[in-house]
Amino acid sequence: MSNGEKTDRLGNHVSIKTGKLDANSSSEDGIYPFFTCSREPLSISSYSYDCECVLIAGNGDLNVKYYKGKFDAYQRTYIIESLNKNKLQTKFLYYFMEKNIGKLRDLSIGGIIKYIKLGNLTELSIPLFDFNKQQQIATTLDKASELIALRKKQLEELDALAESMFYDTFGDPVKNEKGWDVDILKNFGKVSTGNTPSREEKKYYNDSYIEWIKSDNIMDEYMLLSQAKEYLSEEGSLKGRIAESGSILMTCIAGSLKSIGTVGVADRDVAFNQQINAIYPCKKVEKLYLYSMLKHSKRHIQSYASNGMKHLLNKSTLESIYFPYPPLSLQTRFASIIEKIEEQKALAKKALQESEDLFQRLMQDLFKPD
- Please write the tens of the pLDDT for every residue from 308-355: 888 999 999 999 999 999 999 999 999 999 999 999 999 999 999 999
pLDDT-derived band at 2, boundaries 50, 70, 90: very low
Q: Which amino acid is at 142?
A: D
pLDDT at 224: 56
Q: What letters, b where the CB count within 10 A reaches 16 and e where it falls short, cover 197-222?
A: beeeeeebbbeebbbbbbbebbebbb
Lowest mean pLDDT segment, chosen from 60-64, 126-130, 331-335, 356-360 = 60-64
Within 10 Å of residue 334's Cβ, how many Cβ atoms?
Answer: 21
What the chain holds in terms of domains, given with CATH numbers, is 8-128 (3.90.220.20), 129-170+326-370 (1.10.287.1120), 181-325 (3.90.220.20)
pLDDT at 51: 97
For residues 305 and 307, give the distance between their C-alpha atoms in angstroms, rounded to a whole number.
7
Asked whether the predicted pLDDT for residue 359 surpasses 90, the reply is: yes
**Full DSSP string of 120-189:** HHHT-EEE---HHHHHHHHHHHHHHHHHHHHHHHHHHHHHHHHHHHHHHHH--TTT-TT--EEEEGGGTE
- 259-275 confidence digits (pLDDT tens): 999 999 988 899 999 99
Within 10 Å of residue 82's Cβ, how many Cβ atoms?
Answer: 20
Asked whether the predicted pLDDT for residue 18 surpasses 90, the reply is: yes
Residues 6+ apart with CB under 8 A from 131: 86, 87, 89
Asked whether the predicted pLDDT for residue 52 surpasses 50, the reply is: yes
Q: Cα-atom radius of gyration of the chain, to the nearest Å? A: 25
CA distances (Å), 168 to each of 61, 70, 156, 172, 366, in order?
A: 38, 41, 18, 9, 48
Asked whether the predicted pLDDT for residue 4 surpasses 60, the reply is: no
